[in-house]
Amino acid sequence: MSNPDPKGRGWQGAKPMQLLVTLAVGCLLYFILPRVAPVPDAKLFAGTAAAKAKPGDKAAKPGEKVAKPADKPKPAEAKAAEPKAAASAKKPSAKELEVQRIEAEAKVKFEAAAKAKADAEAKVKAEADAKAKAEAEKVRQADWIRGLHLFAIFVATILGIILRPLPMGAVAMIGVGLTAITGTLPIGDSLSGFAEKTLWLIIVAFMFARGFIKTGLGTRIAYFFMRLLGKRTLGLAYGFAATEFVLAPVVPSNTARTAGIIMPIMRSLARAYGSNPEDGTARKIGAYLTMTCFNLDLIVSAMFLTAMAANPMTQKFAADFGITITWNSWFVAAIVPGLVGLLVIPYFFYKLYKPEITETPEAVEMATAKLKEMGRPSMSEWLMVAVFSFVLVLWVIGEKAFGIDGTTAALLGLALLLLTGVLTWKDVLEEHNAWDVLIWTGGLIMMAGFLNKLGMIPWFSKVVGASMAGHGWHFGFLVLAVTYFYAHYFFASMTAHAGAMYAAFLGVSITLGAPPMLAALVLCFFSNLHASMTHYGTGPAPAMFGLGYVPIGTWWRLGFMVSVVNILIWVVVGGAWWKVLHLW
Amino acid sequence: MSNPDPKGRGWQGAKPMQLLVTLAVGCLLYFILPRVAPVPDAKLFAGTAAAKAKPGDKAAKPGEKVAKPADKPKPAEAKAAEPKAAASAKKPSAKELEVQRIEAEAKVKFEAAAKAKADAEAKVKAEADAKAKAEAEKVRQADWIRGLHLFAIFVATILGIILRPLPMGAVAMIGVGLTAITGTLPIGDSLSGFAEKTLWLIIVAFMFARGFIKTGLGTRIAYFFMRLLGKRTLGLAYGFAATEFVLAPVVPSNTARTAGIIMPIMRSLARAYGSNPEDGTARKIGAYLTMTCFNLDLIVSAMFLTAMAANPMTQKFAADFGITITWNSWFVAAIVPGLVGLLVIPYFFYKLYKPEITETPEAVEMATAKLKEMGRPSMSEWLMVAVFSFVLVLWVIGEKAFGIDGTTAALLGLALLLLTGVLTWKDVLEEHNAWDVLIWTGGLIMMAGFLNKLGMIPWFSKVVGASMAGHGWHFGFLVLAVTYFYAHYFFASMTAHAGAMYAAFLGVSITLGAPPMLAALVLCFFSNLHASMTHYGTGPAPAMFGLGYVPIGTWWRLGFMVSVVNILIWVVVGGAWWKVLHLW
C-alpha cells in the first residue's frame, strides 16, 4: 500500500477479548434463558399487567362493561320488590291474599326470568373473562420472554461496563441500541431514559461544576478553608472536608471534585512539607492526606443527590418502586450521619495512620499567598456564588415552598449562568462528561426501569424475599445492605455496581417488610460509601492511589476499617436520626 | 484590583439589546395575552380533552360506571316479560284472565318501580355528567391559559433564535427551562423532547458525518466524481451534485456537507483555474460553481429525512398531526422532483450565469493527482462504506421488510462504527453539533408538540382555515405553501422558520381539506428549498457568499429565479409523481 491510513493509530475499536466475553455471556443468556426458565406462577410474576392498568385501560374495558350490567340488576330488582311487600302488609283480606299470592307467583316468575337472564349474562361474562384471561396470560408469557431478553442485554451491558471493551458510554449506547434491534423494546421506549428529569439535573450540575472550575472559585474555596483551619494537620483535613462539603452539591463528578480540585492542592501542600513517595517521606503528611481526602469525598458523595453522577440513577430506581426522593429529602436524611462522618474520618486516620508532621503553620502562609495571588474574586466568581446559593436554596426549600422541582431550579440556574456569560454555550457543549453521563445513565435508567415494568424485579424480589423471610425485616435488610456494600470489592465503578444491584436489592428489602423510603435511602448512601475498600472502586481512587503515598496493602487494610466505621456511623447514628424523621 | 479576572475576555453573556427585545416580547405576550384573548368556543378549542382521552380514562370512568347499569335494566325487564305473554296466550279461561289481569297490574307496578329506579339513576347520572362537564370546562379554560403562556415562551424562543442574544442552543435550553419555571408544563413534559426517536436519528447521523469527514471518505467521493465527470464545467457541477447526493443521507449538517466538504474542493479548483474574486476573475468559473453548489445543497437537503438537521423536526411536527413520515416514505416522495432538480439546476445556472471557462480538463488531472496522493482507501473508509450502505439499505427497506425503525437502524450502524473503531467514543462526545441539535431540536419539538396537545394549533387551524375556506384545497394550499416558502426572506435559519411556522401552516392546510400526507411532505420539502433566496438563509449561505465570488445583488436576483424554478419543479413534476403515489 503506497499510503498507509494517515489516521492509523493502531486498533481503536473494541478490545477483542473483553468484547468476546461480554457478547458470549449476553448471547448465552439471551438464547438459553428463555429455554430453561419456565414462566413463573402468575402470583409471582404478573408481567406488565400491573403497569398496563394505566395506559392499557382500553383493552381491559370491554370485559368490565360486560361484567357491570350483569352484576347490578339483582339489587335493583330486590329493591323494586320491597315497596310492594311493605304495601301489602297493611290489609290482608281474602281477595287481597289471593292477589298477593298471584303477585307473589308473578314475582317468582319474574325473578326466575331475571335469574335466567342474569345467568345468561354471567355466562357471556365468564366467556369474555376466560378469553381476556387467556389473552392476558399470553401477554404475561410474552412479557417473561421479553423480560429475560432485556435481562440478558442488561447483564451484558453491566459486564461491558466492568470489562470495558469500549468506554462506558459506548457500551451503554450499544446496549440501548440492542434493546431496540432485538425487538425487546420499541425504539421509543429504548430512548425514554434520555428525558428523565433527574438525569437532566445531573447534566446541569455538570455545567455548574464547570463554572466552579472555570472561574477558579473551587480552588479559591479550598485555599480559603486551608487558611482558616490549616494550622495543624488535622485542621487541614477538616479544611478539605469543608471544601468538599461546599462543592459537593453542585459538582456531581466526584472525580472532578476530588481529583480535579482537591488533589492538586493537597499534593503541592504535601510536597511543600517535604513529603514525597519517592524518598520514603510519604508518611510525613502525604499518606494521611491522601487517605483522608479520598474518604471525605465518598462521604460527601453520599450526602447530596447532586454530589455523585450515579445518585440520580439510584434515585430514579427508587422512583420505579413508587418511592419519591427529592433533593431535599435526600439531604435531610443524610446530613446528620454525613456530618458525623466528616468529623470522625479525619480523626480516625489521625489516630490509626498518624502523620509525622502534625503542625502546619506554613499551610496557612501558602494559602494566604495563593489567595493573594488570585486577587479579589472576579465578577464571574461572585455571579457563580450568587447563582449557586440561589439554586441551593431552591433545592432545599423550593419543592415544598413553591413546588419548584430540583431540575427546574437547576435549569433556572443554568439560564442565569448563560445569560451572564459565566458559562458560554461552548462551555456547555464541550462539557463532555455531561454527554457521557446522558448516554450511560439514560441507558441504565431505561433498562432497569423496564426490568421493573416488565415484572422481572418484582418477581425476583418476591422469590428471594420469600426465601429470606422469617427473621423480621431488621435483620434481613441489614444483611442485604451489608452484602450490597461489600459486593463493591468486585466493582470498579459505583455506577456499574448500583446499576447491577440497586433495584433488585431494594425490591427484596421491600418484600422483606423494610420501610421503603428507609431502604431506598440506605442503599443510595451505601452506593457511595462502599467505594472506600479498594484502590479501583471509583474514579478518584486510582488517581489518589496513583500519587504513590499509600501502599496497596495499607489502602486495602485501612479501606476495610473505614468501611466498618462508615457502616457503624450510618447504621447507628443514621438509624437514630431516621427514627427521629419517622422513616421507620 | 491587583489581579484582574484572568479569564476575562470581555462580556460573554447575552447581547443586551437582543435579550431585551426577546424578553420584552415574551413577557408582553405572556402577561397580556391571557387578559385580552377570551377562551374560544368549545367547538374551536377543545384543550387537552382529546389528547387526554387516552391517559385520562380513569377520571372519566366513574361517570361511565354510573351510566351503564341505568341504561341496561330496561331491555332486561322487557325481555323477562315476553315469555310470560307468550305462555298466557294459550288458554284464556276466566280464572286465568283474572290472573292475567293481576299479573299485568303487577307487571305495571314492577315496571313503574323499575322506571322510578331508572329515573333516579338517570338523575344521578345527569348530575355526575353536569359535574364532569363543569370540571372539563375548567380544565379547558386552564388549558387555554397554559396554551397562551406556552405560545408566549415559544414566540420568545423563536425570536431569540432569530435575534441571537445567545447561541441557538442556549436560547432553546432557556426556553425549555422557562416552560417548567413558569409552571406552564410539568418538568417531565418540558424534557420530553429529548427522548424523541427522530431526534436521536439525527444525532446518530451526525456521528456518521463525523466518520465521513474523519476517514477522508467524503473528500475522496468528491474527487472521485470530479475525475469521472469533470472534463467540462457543467460536468464538474454534476459531479458535485453526485457527491452531495451520495453524502446527504448521512450528513445531516448541510453546513458540514457543503461548507465543510464541498467548498474547500470547489474553491481550490476555482483558484487553480485562475478565478479569484479579488482580481475580477470571479465569473471565470468560481461564481458559477458557488451558486450551483449552494443550490444543489438545498435540493439534496430536501431529498432525505437525514440530510438536514431540521428535517426530523418537521417530520415530528407532522407526527403530532398523526401523519407518519418514515425515512423511506420521505425518500420515495422526494426522489423524482429531487433528481429533476439536481439535473436542472446546474444547467439553469449554466445558461443564466454562464462561466467563462467551460472546458476543464485540468480538473480531471487534479482529481486524479489528489486521489493518488490519498492512496488506496483505508480500512476505516471501507468499513465506513460498508456500514453506510448497510444502514442505507435498512432505511430504505428495513421498516417494511423487518419492522426496523430508522433510528434503530442508525443505532445499529453506530454500534458497528464504535466496535470497529472507525469512530471512538471520544469522537462521539466531541461531536458538539449533535449535542447542540439535541438541545434545540428537543426544545422546539417539545414546545410545538405541546402547543398541539394543548389545542392551540388545532384552534388556530380551524380559525384560519374557516376564513380561507371556499376555494377548494388546491388553491388554498398552494397559497399557503408559497407564502410559507417566501416567508424565508425574514429568517436566517431554516430551523427557526420551520419551528415557527410549519405546524401552524400544516394545521391550516389540513383544515382546508388538503390531503394530510401531501401537505406535510410539501411543507417538509419547502422547509429546505426556501433557503435559496438570500445570502443568510441557512448555514452554508454566508460561508459560500463569503467566498466573494457572487455579488449580493446577483445572489438575490438569481436566488429568486431559482426559487421559482424549484417551486415549479416540485409542484409540477412533484405533483405528477405524488399523483402516481396516490398521495392525492
CA distance A346 to chain B (A): 34
SS (H, E, C) B437-456: HHHHHHHHHHHHHHHHHCCH
In this model, does residue A58 exceed pLDDT 60?
A: no
| pLDDT surpassing 80 at residue A455 | yes
* CB contact at 8 A, A245 and A529: no
User: What's the mean per-residue pLDDT of chain A?
Assistant: 85
Residue numbers of A between 181 and 220 with CB closer than 8 Å to B: 181, 183, 186-188, 190-197, 200, 214-216
Between positions 160 and 179 of B, the ones with CB within 8 A of A are 166-167, 169-170, 173-174, 176-178
A93 has a pLDDT exceeding 90: no
Residues of A in contact with B114 (CB under 8 A): 76-77, 80
B200 neighbourhood in chain A, CB within 8 Å: 191, 194
DSSP B73-115: HHHHHHHHHHHHHHHHTS---HHHHHHHHHHHHHHHHHHHHHH
pLDDT band (50, 70, 90) for residue A581 = very high
Chain B CB contacts of A7 below 8 Å: 214-216, 378, 380
Q: What are the structural domain ranges in chain A?
A: 16-46+73-82+91-190, 195-580
Residue in B77, B84, B195 nearest the CB of A109: B84
Q: Is B369 on the interface with A (CB under 8 A)?
A: no
Q: Tell me the chain A residues in contact with residue B373 when contact means C-beta distances shorter than 8 Å.
A: 3
Q: Which residues of B touch A405 (CB under 8 A)?
A: 180, 186-187
Q: What share of chain B is helix, strand, coil (3-state, %, to 5)?
A: 80, 0, 20
Q: Which residues of chain A from 116 to 135 reach within 8 Å of chain B, CB to CB?
A: 117
- Contact present, B293 and B321 (Cβ < 8 Å): no
A475-516 residue pLDDT tens: 889 989 999 999 888 887 888 888 888 998 999 999 888 999
Residue of chain B whose alpha carbon sits nearest to that of A442 = B195
Residue A582's pLDDT is what?
Answer: 92
Q: What is the mean pLDDT of residues A541-556?
A: 89
Q: A173-187, A220-234, A455-469, A534-548 — which is least confidently predicted? A: A455-469
* Confidence bin at A161 (pLDDT 50/70/90): confident
From residue A124, give the alpha-carbon distance in Å to each of A129, A136, A285, A332, B72. Answer: 8, 18, 83, 56, 15
Cα gap B194→A103, rounded to integer Å: 71
Q: What is the least distance, in Å, from the CA of A355 to any CA of chain B?
A: 36
- What pLDDT is recorded for position A181? 93
Q: How many residue pairs bridge chain A and chain B with CB atoms within 8 Å of each other?
A: 255
Q: Using CA atoms of B515, B519, B522, B526 in order, give the dihedral in degrees to the nearest 10.
A: 170
Amino acid at the residue A42: A
From first to last of the 584 residues of chain B, give the pLDDT tens digit: 333 344 446 788 899 999 999 999 999 999 999 988 888 888 888 887 655 443 333 333 333 443 444 444 444 444 444 444 444 445 557 777 877 787 788 778 878 888 888 888 899 999 999 999 898 888 888 999 999 999 999 999 989 988 889 998 999 999 999 999 999 999 999 999 999 888 898 888 888 888 888 888 888 988 998 898 888 999 999 999 999 999 899 888 887 788 778 888 888 888 888 898 888 899 999 999 999 999 999 999 999 999 998 899 999 999 999 999 999 999 999 999 999 999 999 999 999 999 999 988 888 988 999 999 999 999 999 999 999 899 988 888 887 788 888 899 999 999 999 999 999 999 999 988 889 989 988 998 899 889 888 888 888 888 887 877 777 888 889 989 999 999 888 887 888 888 888 998 999 999 888 999 999 999 999 999 999 998 888 888 888 888 889 998 999 999 999 999 999 999 999 999 999 999 98
pLDDT attached to residue B441: 85
Closest CA to A263 of A230, A228, A234, A296: A296
Q: B157 at the A interface (CB within 8 A)?
A: no
**Could you say which residues from 275 to 294 on chain A have a Cβ atom under 8 Å away from some Cβ of chain B?**
none
In sequence order, the 6+-apart residues with CB closer than 8 A to the CB of A196 are A312, A316, A441, A442, A445, B191
Residue B359, φ and ψ in degrees, nearest 5: -110, 130
**Predicted confidence (pLDDT) per residue in A101-127, tens digit:** 777 887 788 788 888 888 888 899 999
**CA dihedral sign of residues B483, B484, B486, B487:** positive
pLDDT range class, residue A51, cuts 50, 70, 90: low
Given this model, what pLDDT does residue A495 score?
85
CA dist A267 and A544 (Å) reads 10
In chain A, the percentage of residues whose pLDDT exceeds 90 is: 46
pLDDT score for B90: 52
B405 touches A at CB < 8 Å: yes
Band of pLDDT at residue A234, cut at 50, 70 and 90: very high
Chain B closest-CA separation from residue A518 CA (Å): 25
Q: Which residue of A has its CA nearest to B435?
A: A429
Find, among B288, B188, B306, the residue nearest to B249 by Cα: B306
Whether residue A1 and residue B375 make contact (CB cut-off 8 A), yes or no, is yes
Question: Which residues on adjacent β-strands are paired with residue B359?
Answer: B232
Which amino acid is it at B62?
A: P
Sign of CA dihedral A436, A437, A440, A446: negative
Segment A129-157, tens digit of pLDDT:
999 988 888 888 899 999 999 999 999 99
Question: Exposed, middle or buried, A437 (CB in 10 Å: 0-12/13-18/19+)?
Answer: buried
Candidates B161, B428, B433: best to mutate against A (most CBs of A within 10 A) is: B428
Cβ-defined contact of B187 to A58 (cutoff 8 Å): no
Run of H or E residues at B241? helix B233-247
End-to-end Cα spacing for chain A: 72
* Interchain contact, A114 vs B76, CB within 8 Å: yes
Whether the predicted pLDDT of A389 surpasses 50: yes
How do residues A304-350 score in pLDDT, each as one tens digit? 999 998 899 999 999 999 999 999 999 999 999 999 999 999 999 99
Cβ of A114 and B187 within 8 Å?
A: no
Sign of torsion over alpha carbons B303, B308, B312, B313: negative
Closest CB from A14, A117, A421 relative to B419: A14
Q: How far apart are CA B106 and CA B545, in angstroms?
A: 95
The alpha carbon dihedral of B98, B102, B107, B108 has a sign of positive
Q: Of A250, A195, A206, A254, give the one whose Cα is nearest residue A395.
A: A250
Please judge whether B173 and A411 are an interchain contact, meaning their C-beta atoms are less than 8 angstroms apart. yes
Distance CA A202, CA A438 (A): 9
Q: Considering only the beta carbons, identify the residue of A170, A180, A195 that sits closest to B418.
A: A170
Put simply, whether A369 touches B (Cβ < 8 Å) is: no
User: Do the Cβ atoms of B460 and B508 come closer than 8 Å?
Assistant: yes
| pLDDT (tens digit per residue) in B492-542 | 788 888 888 899 899 999 988 899 999 999 999 999 999 999 888 888 888
pTM above 0.95, yes or no: no
CB-CB under 8 Å, A117 with B403: no
Angle at B432 between CA B430 and CA B435, to 5 degrees: 115
* A421 lies within 8 A of chain B by CB: yes
Going by C-alpha positions, the residue among A448, A376, A389, A60 that lies closest to residue A246 is A389
Please judge whether B5 and A380 are an interchain contact, meaning their C-beta atoms are less than 8 angstroms apart. yes
Q: What is the ipTM, given to two decimal places?
A: 0.79
Three-class secondary structure assignment of A313-339: HHHHHHHHCCCCCCHHHHHHHHHHHHH
B57 at interface of A, judged by CB pairs closer than 8 A: yes
Task: Kindly state whether A67 is in contact with chain B, defined as any CB-CB distance less than 8 angstroms.
Answer: no
Q: Residue A425 and residue B170: Cβ atoms within 8 Å?
A: yes
Residue that wins the pLDDT comparison between A422 and A535: A422
- Distance (Å, rounded) from C-alpha A244 to C-alpha A241? 5
